Structure 1
Amino acid sequence: MPLYMVTTQAGILGLEAKADLAAALTRFHSGYAGVPEDWVQVVFQDYPPGNAFSAGKPSATAALTLLIRTGRSPEYKRGLVTQLWQLLQSATGAPDDRIVIGVQEVPPSQTMEMGQIMPEVAG
């Protein structure tokens, strides 16, 4: 179920860098959440230069949005975003003021993968 959307300016991440980041996110999330690697999905979106802004000025912002099932503690999610920050920063070389990470949650009953309604998060 975890769905990672990684958005960067075109040219920041080449094909090999995307594959490396996807593999790192998959390994990390599988180990951190205790879910099978084949549950982890990573999608990259590139935008042309001049199409992202910070403080109203053009910026090569790197963004990561993660969609997960509800049921995790605030401590779990803080640890999650802290590790994700490091992975994204390492892959993109972006400074702290050009990285944005957000976690969105959805009830398991409203998610399907591999033809199955997703189970509740285990204790």
Structure 2
Amino acid sequence: MPLYTITCAQDLLDDAGRELLATGITDLHTRMAGVPAEWVHVIFQDFPPNHGFTAGRRADVVAMTLVIREGRSPEYKETMLTALWRLLQEATGAADDQIVIGIQEVPPSQAMEMGQIMPDVADA
């Protein structure tokens, strides 16, 4: 179920960089959540040069959204965010003021994977 979407300027990450980041995210998520690697999905979306803005000024913004099942502790999510920040910064070289990461949580009953409604986090 975990779905990571990374949005950044075109050519910020080449194929090898995307693969390395996707592998790092998958390894982190499987280690922390104890789920199979097949459940971890990473999608990259690129935008054209000069299409990213911070404070109304053009910037090479790097954004990551993570959709997960609800039920994880605040400490778990803080640890996850900190590790993801490091991975994203290492892969892109983006400055702290140009990285945005957000976690969106959905009830397990509102998510499907491999044709099945997802179980509660406690049951997985």
TM-score, length of structure 2 as denominator length: 0.97
Mapping of residues 77-96 of structure 1, within 5 Å:
77-96=77-96
Query: Quick check: 1:112 aligned with 2:95?
Result: no
* Structure 1 spans left out of the alignment, 5+ residues: none
Mapping of residues 29-40 of structure 1, within 5 Å:
29-40=29-40
- SS of residue matched to 1:27: helix
Mapping of residues 48-63 of structure 1, within 5 Å:
48-63=48-63
2:26 aligns with: 26
Runs of 4 or more above 3 Å deviation: none
Number of aligned pairs? 123
Task: Please tell me the residue identity of whatever aligns with 2:37.
Answer: E
RMSD, matched Cα: 0.8
Deviation of the 1:11 alpha carbon: 0.6
TM-score, length of structure 1 as denominator length: 0.98
Query: Quick check: 1:69 aligned with 2:73?
Result: no
Task: Please tell me the residue identity of whatever aligns with 1:26.
Answer: T
Deviation of the 1:122 alpha carbon: 1.8
Partners of 1:76 and 1:9 lie apart in 2 by 29
Q: Percent identity?
A: 57
Task: Please tell me the residue identity of whatever aligns with 1:117.
Answer: I
* Structure 2 spans left out of the alignment, 5+ residues: none
| Residues 22-50 of structure 1, C-alpha deviations (whole Å, 9 max, x = no match) | 01100110001111110000000000011
2:47 aligns with: 47
Partners of 2:36 and 2:56 lie apart in 1 by 41
Task: Please tell me the residue identity of whatever aligns with 1:34.
Answer: G
- SS of residue matched to 2:5: strand
Task: Please tell me the residue identity of whatever aligns with 1:17.
Answer: G
